[in-house]
Chain A
């Protein structure tokens, strides 16, 4: 898969504080999630990719272009939806989006056409002649998305796109992001602290903690790899674990009679029941379980980011 964003020892300092500390990683997904607690450096990373903050050390590449050298060209390929309010309150929605399209280089006629299309695309067609200042919070979020899409970028940077939205509006926003994702024509980077948003839309996640890479995971692969992951609760173990291991399964036991088993190809659940019967073990609970994003995130938050100087994109 082609590389969308490559982080090469990226360091960003604001004032005397180091906000991003030697980030490394290769982001290749069609929809990439930036996850981390508040203050972990997600928005700073987006702002650095846009050239708003200069890297103190290292660099980043977007589609192979260095952000230090080619930021002008890169910006024409990027659509940015900021986290905070960003609009011109006195302008009508359609004029505002058209204006943004023209600044991106679209001729006036095409800009007008695309602005109308973008408005209908985000579902605000009916209110496009109202002043942006009169829009509700949800509408303002959608206008921000419309202005980010209007010039047809190759990369969309969405900073907390579902911030402040009610459940219905949030679903609509995520649905739109999924639709854009499904076209396969545009790469999306979503920064959020909401695990569900990432889980719903992304196929790769970069987890940041205190300005450092805590994990970089391919969610598609994780989902595939965890297809036969079983969680069992038994009354006693009585050599049951050894028997399972002899069967060719990876097995880990936990206090309280909990077992985690990865079933290889060809092994059926029925065989586990047989083994349990042979060892007079009662299986009290059994369920298929994926290593959820929450697990990945919590694991990443518990573990220390790798030692200074060797921070890599994978744990």
Chain B
């Protein structure tokens, strides 16, 4: 083929490695997301906790600034695992909104006009398709959750000195794992609902409903049946319970927030069950052709 010749020509040039081809999907997904100015602005807004957290850490370590404001604070009591946990709660809330916004759009545009069959008629498996989309979503949500968390940890370790970084190295794992738990649930849930419902607004509403309505049902079940197990339906509760253990939040905090009613292993089991259900839905619905049983 040539623009001016209009002759069909077989392509015999170089090909990209098959293993990294799923990244094409990630790249195009990102490019489509950031075509929206509103989305770009909101993503930038999601970095504001990083900026505020960074300024706060700097201020509490700066004797000049502290002297200026006349405060006498022992910064070792301020920047703790609880502080990082609180910081990440804000980031995770923003990540949830960003996930509800970005992920359904990323998926549904391929389903709205049956473009999925074009992907899968090429040398791209269903797993690679999913991997491409998941990596785009995970990279986006990571950029506003655990990566800023690690940056603030690095800043704190640098400014605090005296081996603070070494002593609190476990906190890096907690930040990463705590955020990845949320990211996994948000991304898988949004994807599963997207391929199932294929209607963006409804998917976004259902995402919110999954967190809110399921929580309400769980609480009602707990009250009616006089048990605590209903809380396992409350994804927010389940993930926060796991997080409190990962961040080694002291018991009195846990008691205050009544996070001790179900064992942590049950929370992990609930988390895994949600992930498996989402993967099952994706496996069932992510097909080039749907077969009507009969």
Contact = CB atoms under 8 A, between A and B. Distances in A.
A75 B121 contact: yes
B163 interface: no
Interface residues of A, number: 51
A123 to B, nearest CB: 9
B294 A16 contact: yes
B6 A75 contact: no
Given A99-B28, A117-B1, A147-B118, A87 B292 contact: no
Contact of A117 (B3, B21, B117): B3
Interface string A85-121: 1111111000000011011111100100010111011
Interface string B255-287: 000000000000000000000000000000001
B30 to A, nearest CB: 13
Interface in B117-135: 117-125
Interface stretch (B9-17, B59-67, B203-211): B9-17
B110 interface: yes
B293 to A, nearest CB: 4
Interface string A50-70: 101100000000000000000
A110 B14 contact: yes
Given A52-B117, A105-B16, A110 B11 contact: yes
Contacts, number: 133
Contact of A88 (B1, B113, B289): B113
Interface residues of B, number: 43
Nearest to B293: A15
Given A103-B122, A107-B14, A120-B6, A52 B289 contact: yes
22 contacts: A14-B292, A17-B294, A52-B287, A75-B124, A76-B122, A86-B117, A102-B16, A102-B21, A102-B24, A103-B119, A103-B124, A105-B123, A106-B11, A110-B14, A117-B3, A118-B1, A120-B4, A120-B6, A121-B1, A149-B1, A154-B10, A185-B10
Interface of B: 1-4, 6-16, 18, 21, 24-25, 28, 32, 109-110, 112-115, 117-125, 287-289, 291-294
Given A16-B293, A47-B288, A117-B9, 7 more contacts: A15-B293, A53-B291, A89-B109, A103-B25, A152-B9, A185-B8, A185-B10
